[in-house]
Amino acid sequence: MVEYPEIDKYSALDSPMHRFDPRAKIVAFIVLIFAVVLVPNLKLALIALIGAILFLIVSKLPLRFALQHIKWVFLFVVPFIVIMPFTVPGTEIFSFFGLTMTYEGLEYGILVAVRALSAVILVLPMIATSKFNVTIKALGELKMPNMLVQMFMFTYRYIFVFVVEFQRTWRAMVARGFQLKTNLYALKMIGRALGTLFVRSYERGDRVYQALRARGYTAKPKTLVEFKMRASDYVWTAVIIGFAVSLLVVPFVEVL
C-alpha cells in the first residue's frame, strides 16, 4: 500500500560522488539542474542528458535502483510527447483524421522530455550518495532556516514510523474484509483510517515533544557530522558548475 523511502539505500558505497562534500554537492548540482531545465534547444538538451548520465555512472549507483527512481518522471512527461506534436502550430509532418502532427510540436515535446529526464537523473548523484540525515544537516549549514531543517529531520524520521503504523491499520482493515474500490463506502473507510492516523500522530507529537524536552531539547540542531572541504571537493564543484555555465552560455555564443 505505502512503501518506505529508500533513496539513501546505496549511500554506503564508495565513489567520487559519495566522497563529495554534501554542501558543495547540493549547491553544485542544484546550479546544474537549473541550467539543464533552461537549455533552449534539443542539441544542448542531449548534451545535458549525456552529462547527467556520466555523473550517474561516476556515482556507481546500481542501474536497477536508478531506473526505479527515474521511471516516475515518464508518467508526467509522456503526455507532453503525445499531445504536443498535435497541438503546437508549425510545419506539418503528416495528418490523419483532422489531426496534424507538426515538426515544431514534436521537437518541443522531446525537448521537454529530455530536459525533465536529465534533471531527474541528476537528483540521484546529488541525493542518493549521502545518508539523508547528512543531506538535511548540509541544508542547515547552507543557511536554510532552523525551523525548516528541524522539520525535515523530524518529518523524515516519522515517515518510517507511520509507514509501519498505516500498514498495520491497513492489514487490520483487509483482514476484516475491506476491499479498495472507488465507492462511497470505501472512501469513507479510508477517511476513517487516515483520521485515526492523524489522531495517533497528533498524540504522538505531544509525547515526542515531552520526551525531547525531558532530554533538554531547545530546537537548536546538534549533530555529530562534521563537514570539511578538500581539494577534490573544489575540483568537482568547478567541474559541475563549469558544465552548467557552458550549457547556459553556448547558445549566446552560437548566435554571435
Tell me whether residue 9 or residue 60 sits nearer to another protein (CB atom). 9
Closest CA to 124 of 54, 178, 186, 75: 54
Beta-bridge partners for 95? 100
Report in angstroms how near the CB of residue 75 gets to another protein at its nearest.
7
Tell me whether residue 58 or residue 70 sits nearer to another protein (CB atom). 70
Beta-bridge partners for 102? 92
Q: Which amino acid is at 69?
A: H
Residue by residue, DSSP assigns 13-54 as S-SHHHHS-HHHHHHHHHHHHHHHHT--SHHHHHHHHHHHHH
Report in angstroms how near the CB of residue 98 gets to another protein at its nearest.
14
Tell me whether residue 78 or residue 235 sits nearer to another protein (CB atom). 78
Tell me whether residue 60 or residue 204 sits nearer to another protein (CB atom). 204
Report in angstroms how near the CB of residue 256 gets to another protein at its nearest.
21
Which residues have CB under 8 Å from 252's CB, separation 6+?
none
Report in angstroms how near the CB of residue 231 gets to another protein at its nearest.
27
Give 70's DSSP letter. Answer: H
